[in-house]
Homo-oligomer: A and B are copies of this chain.
Amino acid sequence: MVQQRPRRIHIHDVAMRDGLQIEPNFVPTEQKIALINALSRTGVSKIEATSFTSPKAIPALRDAEEVMMGIERAPGVKYVCLVPNMRGAQRAMQCGVDEINLVMSASETHNLANLRMTREQSLRVLSEITAELQGKIDINISISTAFGCPMEGIVPSEDVLRLGDRFAALGVQGITLCDTTGMANPAQVEALCTGLAQRWPLELTLHFHNTRGMGLANVIAGLATGIDRYDSSLAGLGGCPYAPGATGNICSEDLVHMLDSMGLQTGVDLDRLVFCAKQMAEMVGHDVPGQVMKAGRWDKRFPVPPDLELTRERALARDAH
């Protein structure tokens, strides 16, 4: 069941969208642009830069156009935006976004509560958008509550697989399985994801939250199934209304740090990423869950106590008596 871990892992930073969307204070547009520009130079593969949604629904991202038009694009980085419908997709295309991220839930209750459509309706909308825009822009579809629904509980894996099969058949570029509220565990990740990369020959991404502390453990399980793309968030920003006080998305720099220390390649410069995470923490103005920004890298060396030689001499002198 367990295969060789992928040698090259792709990091998709979603902090600018999944993180900022729930921040109570509006982050000024120029600060967002500066941070995306800095993040563009870290080596991440994708940046989910904003969301083309209604400014009333998500006021924190009401400056989507200004952000997308204001940033400097770095070669090799894909700029992704979440869009809820055709109107959003058109706005994204006008800004020259590289990839749109469409979303629906694997569970009916979450889809209704979050998107105000039945799953059948969402599936139709996503199919229409895909049919219309295929070939004009890359399309990724995120399946929310793929590892559990905070209202329904267990989501049958057949529901997730059936949805993914439909999207794969539509010819989208990528599918993301989202653990929207941090319910996934490593055994479940292995069970659901083993064989998926073969079943859906496209860009397959896992999106974990660290709500209950299992985020990086789930990445280890995902890697064991061969999946090489992970959504994560600078400084561990994000979170969800169902778990107040809990941590948010898995933390980008903590993820890169773990993969680095394991000898796996991400193409990301950890020092630059930590710098961006610190900027993010300053921008939002509150404590953030990121650990490596506080503790430093695993290979950080601390000074030897100045009296160590004296300690050694005294210790050996005790033996002499």
* Residues of A bordering B, CB below 8 Å: 2, 109, 112-113, 116-118, 121, 148, 150-154, 182-188, 210-214, 216-217, 219-221, 224, 242-247, 251, 254, 257-258, 261-264, 291-292, 294-305, 308, 311-312, 314-316, 319
Contact = CB atoms under 8 A, between A and B. Distances in A.
A148 B224 CA distance: 25
Contacts of A246: 291, 294-295
Contact of A213 (B2, B118, B221, B251): B251
16 contacts: A113-B308, A118-B316, A121-B319, A148-B299, A150-B300, A153-B299, A183-B298, A184-B298, A187-B264, A188-B262, A212-B298, A213-B251, A213-B292, A217-B220, A243-B294, A243-B296
Contacts of A264: 187
In the assembly, how many copies of this chain are there?
A: 2
A292 B118 contact: no
Contacts of A113: 304-305, 308, 311
Contact of A117 (B212, B257, B315): B315
Q: A interface, by DSSP: helix, strand, loop or mixed?
A: loop
Contacts of A182: 295, 298
A2 B186 CA distance: 15
Contact of A185 (B217, B242, B295, B298): B298
A252 B148 CA distance: 23
Given A109-B308, A302-B150, A291 B247 contact: yes
